[in-house]
Amino acid sequence: AVEASIPEGQREAYGQSAKEFTTKDEFEAEAVKHIETTLARSLFNCDEAAAYAGTALAFRDRLIIEWNKTQQNQTFANPKRVYYLSLEFLMGRALDNAMLNVGLKDIAKEGLSDLGFRMEDIVSQERDAALGNGGLGRLAACFLDSMASLNYPAWGYGLRYKYGIFKQEIIDGYQVEIPDYWLDFNPWEFPRHDVAVDIQFYGNVRKYMDESTGKQVSVWENGEIVTAVAFDVPIPGYQTATTNNLRLWSSKASGGEFDFQKFNSGDYESSVADQQRAETISAVLYPNDNLDRGKELRLKQQYFWCAASLFDIVRRFKKSKKAWKEFPSQVAIQLNDTHPTLAIPELQRILVDIEGLEWDEAWSIVQNTFGYTNHTVMPEALEKWSVPLLQYLLPRHLQIIYDINLNFLQYVERTFPKEREMLGRVSIIEESQPKMVRMAYLAVIGSHKVNGVAELHSDLVRTTIFKDFVKIYGPDKFTNVTNGITPRRWLHQANPRLSDLIASKLGGHDFLKDLTMLNQVEKYVDDKAFRKEFQEIKYANKVRLAKYIKDTMGVSVNPAALFDIQVKRIHEYKRQQLNIFGVIHRYLTLKKMSPEERKKVTPRVSIFGGKAAPGYWQAKNIIHLINAVGKVVNADKEIGDALKVIFLEDYNVSKAEIITPASDISEHISTAGTEASGTSNMKFVLNGGLIIGTCDGANIEITREIGEQNIFLFGNLAEDVEDLRHAHFYSEFHLDDDLAAVFKAIREGMFGDAESFTALVNSVTDHGDYYLVSDDFHSYVETHKLIDEAYQSQEEWVTKCITAVSRMGFFTSDRCIDEYAEMIWNVEPLNPKVNGA
Ligand code: F55
C-alpha cells in the first residue's frame, strides 16, 4: 500500500539510520550507545552480560541493514527461491558467527578490551539457540550458513520453541533434565506481529456441488483456530552481503490475548485456558532423536508449522501474479526428514479447495515443488500417524491423503498388473489396527527427488525401505547428497589458530569459501615448522579442554595423554556401551600390569558427552555406567594418568566448539548400516584429529578421501549384519571372552550397584545383542591397541593428521548446497549487489 511507504524525497535517510562501524572506536561508540540507551544501564553497572548485550546489539544493527537489502533485492529480482522446512535448527550461539562473517571480530575484540572485557568471556555470555536434537538439526543450521554464504535466495522455516532441548545435569551419575527457557534475552529475533496466519484444527468437511462450475467442492469448517506469528532471525553469509531469513512460527490464541467475546460474556477462565492451549503448540521441542512416538501435540506442531509456512510461501508467490503452473519454477521446498510431510497434502488442499485448480494440475505442481531428504532407515524412527488421529485433527487432509493413495495405487496396478502383492506393500495406508499413515511413503510419492545423506545410506534407502518405489518411479528419483559441515563455524570459529596456520600457507582465508583448497596443505606435511605449529595448536586445544574439565568437574587430566572422545546423542545404535565396555577392558588390563609395565602404556583420557532422550531408559543406563566407571577409575591411585574417564555434562553446540578441536581420536562406532551419515566425524578430522569408526555412514567416504592408512576402521560390514543377528538366535550365541570378563567385573560390583547395570549386560547376553556389540568387541579392542602404538610415534601420527586435514575439502556443506541446488532445486545464486544494494 502506498501509504505504508516513505515519501520519495525522504528515502535517502533510509538505510543510513544505523551506523556501519568499521573501526574500534566506532564499534565502542555503538556498543556503549546500546548499553546506555537500549538497555538503560550506567557505566558503573556494566557487567559482562551488559557488554554482551551491547556488542550483540551493535552487530545486530549491521546485520539488519544487510538483511533488509538482501530481502529487497530478492523481492525485486524475484528469482526461484529455496525453502528449507525443518522442525529443528540447532544454531548454537550467533554473536561470534556474526562477528566473523562480517569480518569485524578483531575490531570488536580490541574495543571490548578497551572497555575492560575479554572477548571469550563476552561471547560465552550468550545462551545457545538449541532448537534441535542432534545431527539433523545441526545439519539444517550448517545448510543455512552455506546457503547465505553462497548467495542462494533461501529461507528456513521452523518453530519458535519456548523451550529448546533440555539442559542435562548429572546427579549421582544419573541424567536429570532441566527445562531450557532460552528467550529471556534474545537480540537475534524480530517479532513480526503483522505476519500472522490463522491455522485450523479439528472440525468437519462439507461437500457440495458448485452450481456455476458444476464441480464438487470440499469445505473444511467448524474447526478451532490458532494463530501463527512470525519471528525472523537474520542469517549472515560469510564475507558476502547476503543475509537470509530464518522464519520461526510462534503460536498464540486467535483474537489476541483473550477471546474478547468470551471475556465480555464473563467466561474469563475459559478464555485464559484457550490462550494456554494455543501457546502449548510451540512450547517445547520433542527431545527424541531417531524415535517416533506418535503424540497428538507433535502432530499439531507439524501441521501448524507446515500450514503457516505454506501460506507464507503461497502468498509471496501470488504477489508475482504468475500463473499457477509457474509455481515450481519459483519455489523449491526441501523437506528435512518426514516431519514436514503434511506440507504435501496442505499444498494440494490450497491449490484444489481454495484456488480451484483441477486435481491433476495441482498434483503435478506439488510433485515438482517438493524434495525429500531421508535421515534414517531404522524402522522405529520412520514416522507413522494413526488414521483416527488424523481424521480427528485434520479431516480434510486425511481425505486428500486417501485420494493421493488411490491415484498412486491405480497407477501401480496399471503399470505392474502381475504384481498385486506389491499394492499392500507400497500403500500409504498400513492395514494395521488402527490403520496408520506411512509418512515416508507419502513424502516419496509427493516429491520429485528423494535423497539419502551419505553413499551407503542412499544405497540402503534404495535397496531396503524404498525398494518398491525405485521399481515404480525408476532409479533417477533417488539420489545421494553426502552431508557436510560449515568450515566457518567448525574450523575458523572453533579453532582459529588452525584456521590461521592454514591461511598463512594458502595466502589468506579464501579456503573457508572453497574448502577444496585445503589440498594445498599437503605440501607442508614434511615442513618442520608447520608440523611443530600444528602440534602446538592441538596441544593448546587439549590444554583448554583439560582446564574446562578441571573447572567443571574438578578432575585433572594430563593434556599429553591421548584424548579419546565420543560426543553425540546417547543411543544403543551409536554404541557408547561398546566404548565403555572397551574402557573397562582397558582398566582390567592395566590392573593386571606391573607398575613398570603400566608406565609404558599410552596414557588415555576417555571423554564422553551427550544427552539421552528422557524416556529412553537403556540410554540412561549407559550414562550411569560411564559415570560409575569414571568414579572408580579416576580415584584409583594405581592407575593415575594411565586412564581417566570423563562424562561431560550438557553437550551442546557451544561445548562442541571447545571439544572438537581437542581430540586425538574420536569414536564413530555405530553398528554398520545404522548411522545414516554422521557429521561430527567430519568436524573432528577437519580439526586435526583421527577417527576410529565402523564402515558406516560418511566414515566410508571419509576413508576414501583421506586414505585408509589415516583412519582406524574396525568391525563387521553392513551387508553381514542381518545374518549375524539371525545367528544370535538360531546358532549358539558366542560371547567374546574379553567382553565376558568385563561383564563379570560389572556383575561383581566393581563399579558399584551391579543390579542397575544388569539390563545393559543382558541386552548383549540374553536379548540377542541386536547392535552386535559382542561380534565387534574383539576387533574394536585390537584397533585401540593399534591406536596406542601409532600414538607412540608422534611423527607418524602428525603426518596422518595433517594429511587427513588436507583431504577433507569434500565435506564442506557448501558442496552439499551446490549439489542440492543443481540436482534437486534448480536454483541459482543471486548476486547481492545487482541493484547497487
Ligand atoms: C529427531 C526426531 C525424529 Cl522424530 C527423528 C529423528 C530425529 C533426529 O534428530 N535425527 C537425526 O539427528 N538424524 C541424523 O541426521 C544426521 C544428518 O543427516 C545424520 O548425520 C545422522 O546419521 C542421523 O542420525
List pLDDT tens digits, range 335-359: 999 999 999 999 999 999 999 999 9
Q: How far is the CA of 569 from the centre of ligand 1 (A)?
A: 10
Give first-to-last CA distance, the chain, whole Å.
Answer: 23
CA distances from 750 to 437, 467, 744, 753, 813 (A): 48, 48, 9, 8, 45
In terms of phi and psi (left: phi > 0; alpha: psi -120 to 50; beta: otherwise), the region of 239 is: left
Is 701 in contact with 455 (CB distance < 8 Å)? yes
- Identify the H or E element spanning 803: helix 794-806
CA 535 to chain centre: 30
* Cβ atoms of residues 297 and 280 within 8 Å: yes
| Cell output for 22 | 568499521
What are 199's strand-pairing partners? 226
Reported as a single tens digit per residue, the pLDDT across 591-633 is: 999 999 999 999 999 999 999 999 999 999 999 999 999 999 9
C-alpha span between 148 and 146 (Å, rounded): 5
Give residues (CB < 6 A) around ligand 1. Answer: 133-136, 139, 288-290, 292, 375-376, 381, 453, 483, 675-679, 697
Where are the chain's structural domains? 78-93+128-482, 558-804
Q: In ligand 1, which atom is closest to the CA atom of 286?
A: 2
Q: Does domain 558-804 have CATH number 3.40.50.2000?
A: yes
* DSSP 8-state class, residue 91: E
274, amino acid identity: D
ipTM score assigned to the predicted complex: 0.99
Closest CA to ligand 1's atom 17:
136
Closest atom, ligand 1, to C-alpha of 675? 22
Q: Compute the distance between CA of residue 477 and CA of residue 470 in angstroms, rounded to an integer.
A: 8
Q: How far is the CA of 262 from the centre of ligand 1 (A)?
A: 43
Q: In this structure, what C-alpha cell is assigned to residue 169?
A: 545435569
pLDDT, tens digit, for every residue of 372-415?
Answer: 999 999 999 999 999 999 999 999 999 999 999 999 999 999 99
Q: Which atom number of ligand 1 is nearest to the Cα of residue 698? A: 20
94, 141 contact by CB (below 8 A): no
Contact call for residues 373 and 335 (beta carbons, < 8 A): yes
**pLDDT for 2:** 45
Average pLDDT on 440-465 reads 98
Query: Could you tell me the sign of the dihedral formed by the alpha carbons of 592, 595, 598, 604, in that order?
Result: positive
Output the residue whose Cα is nearest ligand 1's atom 1.
Answer: 289
Name which residue sits closest to atom 2 of ligand 1, judged by CA: 289
- Confidence band of 255 (pLDDT split at 50, 70, 90): confident
Q: What is the CB neighbour count within 10 angstroms for residue 554?
A: 8
pTM, two decimals, is 0.97
Q: What is the mean pLDDT of residues 1-14?
A: 70
Active-site residues, by number, are 375, 568-569, 574, 679, 683
What is the grid cell recorded at 173? 551419575
- Ligand 1 centre to CA of 290 (Å) is 6
d(CA 544, CA 565): 15
**In the 3-class helix/strand/coil scheme, how is 233-294 assigned residue by residue?**
EEEECCCCCCEEEEEEEEEEECCCCCCHHHHHCCCHHHHHHHHHHHHHCCCECCCCCCCCCC
pLDDT band for 17, please (50, 70, 90 cuts): low
Q: pLDDT tens, 95-121?
A: 999 999 999 999 999 999 999 999 999
Helix boundaries (H) for 446-527: 455-463, 467-473, 487, 496-506
Q: The domain 78-93+128-482 belongs to what CATH superfamily?
A: Glycogen Phosphorylase B; (3.40.50.2000)
- Please check whether the two domains, 78-93+128-482 and 558-804, share a CATH topology: yes
